[in-house]
Amino acid sequence: MAKKHVDRAVLALLIVMAVLLFNSTAGYTGIALKTSAKYVQFLAVSIGVLSVIQLGFNIFKEQPSVKLKLTDNMGRFVGLLICLVLFAAAFETLGFFIPAAIFIPVVAVLLGYRRPVVIGLTTVGVLIFVYLVFIQLLSVNLPGLEFLGGV
């Protein structure tokens, strides 16, 4: 299958999922209607708009027909999948922050980054950003905060 067709199909699927995600907030009640629903709607609109823009670029940009190649390095690809599964498994017991603090640097190394200072600063930056936006700004209760002493 040609890469441009796969790209277009994935973008169309993302648009449909964004619409479904936005519509799912209609069933929210009480305080969730003012907090969680707004966050989910923001995500849905963001994903939908960005997908429509990318689909437009994809359709109107002339592309050579290239066969889709999933990966150049199957070991790296499998390693990333294993990391993702381990992150999801650890998320349930350890919450978000501890697995993410491990997952982000490991994935960076698997993707070929070798500068420890940059990897460390990026990891800390992402964790601080998630804490400030999701916990402080949006009041989302991420799993694992009680594990960290009830932040």
Ordered per-residue pLDDT tens for the chain, 151 residues: 677 788 889 999 999 999 998 888 887 777 767 777 788 888 899 999 999 999 998 888 877 776 766 667 778 888 888 988 998 888 878 888 889 999 999 999 888 888 999 999 999 999 999 888 888 887 777 776 554 444 4
Q: Note whether 40 and 10 are same-domain residues.
A: yes
Q: Note whether 42 and 95 are same-domain residues.
A: no
Tell me what pLDDT residue 59 has: 86
Tell me what pLDDT residue 151 has: 46
Q: Is 144 a domain residue?
A: no
Q: Note whether 131 and 88 are same-domain residues.
A: yes
**Crossing angle of helices 116-130 and 97-110, rounded to 10°:** 140
2 three-state secondary structure? strand
Q: Is 145 a domain residue?
A: no
Instruction: Measure the CA angle with vertex 135, ends 91 and 50; round to 5°.
Output: 85
Chain centroid offset of residue 5 CA: 23
Expressed as residue numbers, the domain containing 99 is 74-137
Residue reference for tokens 């999922």: 17
Q: Is 67 a domain residue?
A: no
Q: Is 68 a domain residue?
A: no
